[in-house]
Amino acid sequence: MVKAFVWNPQNSEKRVSIELGVDIGATYTTLPASLLEKLGVKPVRSIRVRLADNRVVERFVGEVGIEIEGYSASATPVIFGDEGVYLLGSVTMEQLGLVPDPINKRLRPIEALLFKAMAQSLYTLHSTGFYTYQHKVYPKLRW
């Protein structure tokens, strides 16, 4: 479990402290619908989600601000879940730049990846439509 603060991005004064289970199998963070309604969070759409028992159900999705261990995101997707369900999903962890450390049972910071931008900056586009990289000529690259 990790401690977190969540709030309504439209009204940051509505802020609560909660504990979340870290679930690397969950795409989105899930909080009880009653808590999200108390914060004034509105659903923005409905999505289909697969549950741990393999059932597929429709759930509303909204957005909350979140802070964990000093790392914050001004808005992250959150599923309107059942009572008692407090899960931290992978999208939120990625937004915060955190990954689970299962040995020490905590979250730890991770470096962000910028490979595509880095690779593109290594190539030079010429007016002929070809690229050069380390003085070799290549046909136009597709990203």
Beta bridge partners of 125: 131
Q: How far apart are CA 32 and CA 40, in angstroms?
A: 13
- Is the domain of 120 the same as that of 51? no
Kindly tell me if the per-residue pLDDT of 143 is higher than 60. Answer: no
pLDDT of residue 137: 56
Note whether 75 and 19 are same-domain residues: yes
Residues 63 and 89 in one domain: yes
By the 8 A CB rule, do 15 and 28 touch? no
Answer yes or no: do 69 and 28 share one domain. Answer: yes
Judge if 137 and 104 occupy the same domain: no
In tens, the pLDDT along 8-60 reads: 999 988 899 999 999 888 999 999 999 999 999 999 999 999 988 999 999 99
Give the separation between CA 42 and CA 45, rounded to whole angstroms.
Answer: 9
Residues 73 and 138 in one domain: no
The two structure tokens encoding residue 91:
């999208």
Assess whether pLDDT exceeds 60 at residue 77: yes
Cα 131 versus chain centre, distance: 35
> Domain check: are 73 and 120 in the same one?
no
Is residue 77 domain-shared with residue 137, that is, in the same domain?
Answer: no
User: Residue 85: which residues within 8 A CB-CB, separation 6 or more?
Assistant: 30, 31, 32
Q: Taking all residues of the chain, what is their mean pLDDT, rounded to a whole number?
A: 85
Structural domain for 119, as ranges: 113-143
Q: For the chain, what is the domain count?
A: 2
Give the three-class secondary structure for 33: helix
Rounded Cα distance between 125 and 140, Å, is 8
What does 68-125 look like in DSSP terms, one character per residue?
Answer: ETTEEEEEEEEEEE-TT--EE-HHHHHHHTEEEETTTTEEEE-----HHHHHHHHSEE
Q: Is the pLDDT of residue 142 over 80?
A: no
More confident residue, 141 or 112: 112
- For the domain that residue 21 is a member of, what is the CATH number? 2.40.70.10
Do residue 85 and residue 127 come from a single domain?
no
66 and 21 both lie in a single domain: yes
Are the C-beta atoms of residues 18 and 87 closer than 8 Å to each other? no
pTM for this prediction: 0.78
Rounded CA Rg of the chain: 20
